[in-house]
Amino acid sequence: MKVLLLYDYPPSPGGLATQGHLLHRGLEELGIEVFSVNFESAQEKEWYYRWFEPDVVVGVGYWGHTPHLVLHPKRYGVIPVPWLVADGYLANYREILEDLPLILVTSNWVKKVYMRDGLSGKNIEVLHVGCDTDSFMPREKTDPKVSTVREALGVSPEQIVIMTVGGDAASKGAQEVMQALALNDIEAPDWKYVCKVWPQPRTEQQNLVDLQLATHLGINQNVVYTTSRVSRNFMPYLLASCDIYAAPSRLEGFGMIQIEANACEKPVIGIKAMGMLDTLIHGKTAYLADVAQEIRLKETILGDESGYEAGHKFVFKRPRVVDYRASVHDIANYLMDLMKNPQLREQMGKEGRKRVVEQFDYRVIAKKFVEIVSKRLGIS
């Protein structure tokens, strides 16, 4: 089997790039012939099509990348297999995607979203995202690489650290976590809430809104926002520095960092919806808060990413759920249980690590990829 991978290559620290990079590593370790190229590099992709002659071209992205991941390789007679996340309304690419022999998606929830938007699902297989469990592993807080992270964050050795990581914190449920922490504050052990976000204009505006909420709740002295750029080399030590990873996300097709936190033996607080139903086990590897609210839209504005002219208004036949809000009271109760019980944190963390190693290690995912492609496409 010869595989060409299309993604954000060379890999940036983002989730989609990591998704593609880890599949490359896993396939390479299995002895599969594999190369990676940037999904937008038309000339370089054509170069690989011509001399490498891949059996399959796997493109990591979302439906809006269809021109790069599907139409371009098809033009050169190569079999495209997009590996997709969900992002907005599928819109104008249904016929193209429905005609493919195989589509990979990151969770059962993503599959349901694509079927909701008009695909039959007959060609869709779930392939979860891999995790590098050799890097994301348990580490003692006395490890100098971990303790210096806590020092840089202004966290004292005895404080319990709750952490959320994302492009922005609000989309990962940080506002709900803050409200929960405010409910618990008087009775809770000494704590700090650390939000690691990616520096960008949109994030800066959202950070101000989040910090205003923290001030309004009276917990701003315990909330730390850090916005520096970091590499994937730093992330295992950042996650190792926390005691509880809390991300009851408003929209989550898989939940890569929740998995990485579990791999570091950290208990996770998530939401009982979306991709986390695949990746986390309530009461064993994580606590999943109930859904308190579903945000629905009656209409949306589409553009060229959907194959429409800019500003195209589209009205849904029925209102669509576009994101979720987790129960603040559930989060508060679960946080209190974990903050007051170090044995529970340890037990849940160990169960999480065990499940990630068995189910989501990047080598396991690579083997599943080969099995799916061999069965569906007859390529060995």
Inter-CA distances, 296 with 78, 293, 302, 312, 363, Å: 39, 9, 17, 19, 38
Provide the 3-class DSSP secondary structure of residue 14.
coil
2-130+361-377: CATH topology: Rossmann fold (3.40.50)
Classify 144-290+327-358 by CATH class.
alpha beta
Q: Which two tokens stand for residue 266?
A: 């950290």
Provide the 3-class DSSP secondary structure of residue 295.
strand
Residue 327 burial (CB count, 10 A): 19
- B/e letters for 99-119, b = 16+ CB within 10 Å, e = fewer, are ebebbbbbbebbbebbeebeb
In the chain, where does the domain assigned CATH 3.40.50.2000 lie? Answer: 2-130+361-377, 144-290+327-358
Alpha helices in 292-361 (DSSP H): 328-340, 342-359
Q: At what angle do helices 174-184 and 328-340 cross, to 10 degrees?
A: 60
**Full-model pTM:** 0.94
Backbone angles phi, psi at 340, to 5 degrees: -90, -10
Residue with tokens 């709740």: 217
Quote the pLDDT of residue 144: 97
Quote the pLDDT of residue 317: 81
User: Which uninterrupted H or E stretch holds 165?
Assistant: strand 160-166
Which residues of the chain have a pLDDT value below 50? none
Quote the pLDDT of residue 305: 67
Note the Cα 314 to chain centre separation in Å.
28
Provide the 3-class DSSP secondary structure of residue 36.
strand
Cα separation, 307 vs 349, in Å, equals 44
Cα separation, 255 vs 160, in Å, equals 23
Inter-CA distances, 219 with 8, 176, 215, 338, 339, Å: 38, 13, 6, 19, 17
User: Which uninterrupted H or E stretch holds 288?
Assistant: strand 286-289
